[in-house]
Amino acid sequence: MGLAPLIVVLKTLGLRRNDEIYNQAARFWARIFGINFVTGVVTGIPMEFQFGTNWSHFSRFAGGVIGQTLAMEGMFAFFLESAFLGLFLYGEKRLSPRAHWWSAVAVCLGSWLSGYFIIATDAWMQNPVGYERAPDGSVQLRSFWELVLNPWAWWQYAHNMSGAVITGAFVMASVGAFYLLSAKYKEHGQIFLRTGVLTGCIFSILQVFPTGDGQGRMVAHNQPVTLAAMEALFTSQPGAPLVIIGQPDVEGRKIDNPLLVPKMLSFLTYRRWQARVEGLDQFPERFWPQNIPLLYFSYHIMVGLGTVFIAIMLVCVFLLWRGKLFEARWMLWILLLSLPFPYIANTAGWMTAELGRQPWLVYGLMLTADGYSKTVSAGNGMFTLLGFMGIYMVLGILFLFLVHREIEHGPAAEPASAH
């Protein structure tokens, strides 16, 4: 999803400037996008089936609500996004330049709409709205617009898509750095660097404020026990500190080796330095997230990497402004080696969201312990988990091989220096 708007930017510049280098760059990243899309479809389908196999009680309980958004996600992903991706990849010679540009826009629109309906589904599980109880105990949709306009969904979507664009920007900048370091496709590499760095800088800042701030305050107001667990705040207190570094000791109800910013958590949450922040001691222990250390570390990895991304991109923008980025090999190496970290940050963010909701499957309505299929044994679950891990590992290796092959082939038939 993060590559889609960057492809539109490259295609737009190619159309406006009538520059074949930008068109080649757009085609190159569209091929990378296509590999991501196919891998995502293949690995995502089993998750749809899990609703009926492993989570039948949850499906029976919530299917009347989440079935709407999941169906719309499938429609946009498989019809709008995939159809126009085919046109963009294979229809350039049959379409006019403007029609080809519109196909890129449609791919971007389809992928982002698809992402929104997935986020709206998860947001309903975090903050249930627009439903009513049926006589059989299940929940049914009362208002479609309440479901898709869930305030939690808006902030979560903005934060998630900002993270997706950061990932796409870092990947693009890393590939550009690779080409410059290896003295291949220099013109394309400079375009990749310039586009990735400028985009990455903007969205790295947006990831912290306002999207991260808004999502954090949403958690604080709707799931205060989750915020307390994310920060390992065991005791309620006014002027609560923000933990920069430390290890949570759940049994001892304390943070070991803490590095704190006094009163900062209170200010970030309630905009008042002396505001009282509820700690875990205010909630029954049975409603605490079940793995507080993992939740704490996931959250702090996400925040820490986000801060690093801002620093890297600000330095890159400064060097770009000074006209020194393309020759600064030390910075190019930093960008190249940074490639995996946005993926780690996004994974840590999703772990924070889903671990923080526990022990609820639908917050306040259904416990996770009540949602799984009771006739599926632990052995069956472990067997299928190991099977999927093996299959996904093979697909992951294939994905890396295909992307590596595209990078080796490059964005043009000949190196840019030959033009």
Given a contact cutoff of 8 angstroms between Cβ atoms, the answer to whether 328 and 176 are in contact is no
**Whole-number pLDDT of residue 412:** 80
Strand partners for 133: 139
Strands (DSSP E) found in 214-324: 237-238, 242-249, 254-261, 276-277
Given a contact cutoff of 8 angstroms between Cβ atoms, the answer to whether 238 and 262 are in contact is no
Q: Report whether the peptide linkage leading into residue 210 is cis, meaning its omega lies within 30 degrees of zero.
A: yes
- Other C-beta atoms closer than 10 Å to the C-beta of 240 total 29
Can you tell me which residue has the tokens 């671990």? 355
How would residue 413 be classed by pLDDT, with cut points 50, 70 and 90? low
Rg, the chain, Cα only? 23
How would residue 81 be classed by pLDDT, with cut points 50, 70 and 90? confident
> Hey, what are 169's tokens?
């920007």
* Tens digit of each residue's pLDDT (9 = 90 or more) over 6-15: 999 999 999 9
How would residue 350 be classed by pLDDT, with cut points 50, 70 and 90? very high
Task: Return mean pLDDT, the chain.
Answer: 92
Least confident of 39-48, 113-122, 133-142: 39-48
